[in-house]
Amino acid sequence: MTGRTIALLCLLTAFGYSASAQSVFDFEATDIQGQPVPLEEYRGSVLLIVNTASKCGFTYQFEGLQRLWERYRDDGFFVLGFPSDNFLNQEFETEEEILGFCTGEFGVDFPMFARIDVNGRSAHPLYQYLTSRDTNPEFAGRITWNFNKFLLDRNGRVVARFGSRVEPEDPEVTAAIEELLTR
């Protein structure tokens, strides 16, 4: 192991990451109502993990995310929304405000989680895992803005990453989801 890898594992361990993590199912997150959720609950499902923000130019993407959820949820697909305020203070302060906005403005009923950091030393362990070159070399790298999307297969492995400008219902996204749902 390199010094960089050891330092990363020490940091991740401090935030609840297990060095034996093989997929996102090895993590836990707090839902928007404050309840712990082992991501193991989603094993066997296709996931689209998205860092969201309520006051961003891409906030309209909640509509497309909700439509994806409605279209594919009966086939074992979940959108998981992770509100973040890492970019220009574009997220509300409280989970109640976030949830009220998402449900009131966009009718969101896919799983939403508590506000987290997605970049830097305080990034949630899930996002440290998703963005690390050591744990996710093909799709690693900093979150560049709100509404970055990670598509995961039924085994919790990242199979695609889409930037903010890629719409949730872009044909490339829907084709990748449909392919994973047939496996």
pLDDT value for 13: 43
Tens of pLDDT, residue by residue over 148-181, are 999 999 999 999 999 999 999 999 999 999 999 9
* Structure-token pair, residue 163: 């930037």
Question: What are the tokens at 145?
Answer: 């803005």
Residue 17 clears pLDDT 50, i.e. is over it: no
Alpha carbon of 85 to those of 31, 49, 138: distances in Å?
Answer: 16, 16, 26
**Residue percentage of the chain with pLDDT more than 70:** 89
Residue 178 CA, chain-centre distance (Å), reads: 19
Residues 119-138 have a mean pLDDT of 93
pLDDT at 156: 94
Percent of the chain's residues with pLDDT above 90:
82
Residues 75-97 pLDDT 10s: 999 999 999 999 988 888 899 99
Pick the CATH number of 21-181 from 3.30.460.10, 3.40.30.10, 3.90.180.10, 3.10.580.10: 3.40.30.10
pLDDT for position 93: 86
Q: Note the pLDDT of residue 15.
A: 43
pTM equals 0.88
In the chain, where does DSSP find H-type helix?
Answer: 3-14, 61-72, 95-106, 125-131, 171-181
The model's confidence at residue 183, banded by pLDDT at 50, 70 and 90, is: confident
Contact 119, 143 (CB under 8 A): yes
Q: Which of 9, 12, 56, 152 is catalytic?
A: 56
**Domains of the chain by residue range:** 21-181
**Token pair for residue 57?**
């130019």
pLDDT tens readout for residues 18-56: 455 688 999 999 999 999 999 999 999 999 999 999 999
pLDDT of residue 20: 55
pLDDT digits (tens, 9 = 90+) for 99-117: 999 999 999 999 999 999 9
Alpha carbon distance 67, 56 (integer Å) = 19
Q: Is 56 a catalytic residue?
A: yes
